[in-house]
């Protein structure tokens, strides 16, 4: 296992840890939801697909640029419920580039959990794993996602208009990023 930092990561309200087999039920609660999947690169999943995804996640414990992310599940400290997932991709080892992705169960959105988890993950990625730059991408129509990137102090670096057809509609792709030195100014 080639972890970029020690796990779990802990915040006031959350624990970010590797996926566990008994997370399947929690995953089913949101991975089958069309609203949750609206801007994700897959359609709502049925039970069989969720179980297969769970098996893949259990194997995504490395931080290497092989196209697979390090997969972290987010747990509520108070209740132990699994409330969502954060992904960290290694995009380039020499240039120390990373990319994050995230999904929260709608029951737990609007409570600041995504921001809290993202800060913990990016703090570890910049301060312990020594990444140089972290990027995040989303559709321009996904305001909660780019709103989160802005709250994290990330800069909008690109807005590609109608650059692809995504789920049958023109897609506008936003790319946000922040450099290590910029992060350290915000989070010394």
Ligand X SMILES: CC(C)(COP(=O)(O)OP(=O)(O)OC[C@H]1O[C@@H](n2cnc3c(N)ncnc32)[C@H](O)[C@@H]1OP(=O)(O)O)[C@@H](O)C(=O)NCCC(=O)NCCS
- Closer to ligand X by CB, 82 or 114: give it: 114
120 HSE (CA, 13 A, CB side): 24
Q: Are residues 138 and 174 in contact, defined by beta-carbon separation less than 8 angstroms?
A: yes
In the DSSP assignment, the letter for residue 185 is H
- Closer to ligand X by CB, 3 or 171: give it: 171
Query: At its nearest, how many Å lie between ligand X and the CB of residue 107?
Result: 10
Q: Which residue has the CB atom at the shortest distance from ligand X?
A: 112
What is the contact surface with ligand X in residues (CB under 6 A)? 36, 39-40, 102-104, 109-115, 138, 142, 144-145, 148, 151
Query: At its nearest, how many Å lie between ligand X and the CB of residue 13?
Result: 8
Smallest Cα–Cα separation from 63: which of 126, 3, 135? 3
Give 116-144 as a 3 state SS string: HHHHHHHHHHHHCCCCCEEEEEEECCCHH
- Closer to ligand X by CB, 53 or 109: give it: 109
Which residues make beta-bridge pairs with 177?
135, 155
Query: At its nearest, how many Å lie between ligand X and the CB of residue 167?
Result: 12
What is the C-alpha separation between 114 and 68, in angstroms, rounded? 21
Distances (CA, A) of 21 to 24, 37, 57: 6, 22, 9
- Closer to ligand X by CB, 61 or 109: give it: 109
- Closer to ligand X by CB, 3 or 153: give it: 153
Query: At its nearest, how many Å lie between ligand X and the CB of residue 56?
Result: 18
Query: At its nearest, how many Å lie between ligand X and the CB of residue 128?
Result: 22
């Amino acid at each position: 296992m080639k972890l970029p930092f020690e796990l779990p990561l802990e915040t006031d309200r959350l624990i970010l840890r590797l996926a566990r087999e008994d997370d399947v039920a929690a995953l089913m609660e949101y991975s089958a939801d069309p609203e949750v999947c609206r801007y994700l690169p897959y359609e709502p999943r049925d039970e069989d697909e969720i179980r297969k995804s769970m098996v893949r996640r259990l194997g995504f414990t490395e931080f290497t640029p092989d196209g697979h992310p390090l997969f972290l599940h987010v747990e509520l400290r108070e209740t132990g419920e699994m409330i969502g997932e954060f992904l960290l991709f290694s995009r380039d080892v020499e240039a120390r580039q990373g990319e994050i992705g995230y999904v929260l169960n709608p029951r737990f959105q609007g409570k600041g959990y995504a921001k809290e988890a993202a800060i913990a993950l990016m703090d570890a990625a910049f301060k312990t794993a020594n990444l140089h730059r972290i990027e995040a991408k989303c559709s321009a129509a996904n305001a909660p996602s780019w709103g989160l990137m802005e709250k994290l102090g990330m800069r909008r670096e690109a807005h590609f208009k109608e650059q692809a057809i995504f789920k049958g509609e023109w897609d506008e792709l936003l790319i946000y990023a922040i450099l290590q030195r910029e992060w350290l100014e915000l989070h010394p």
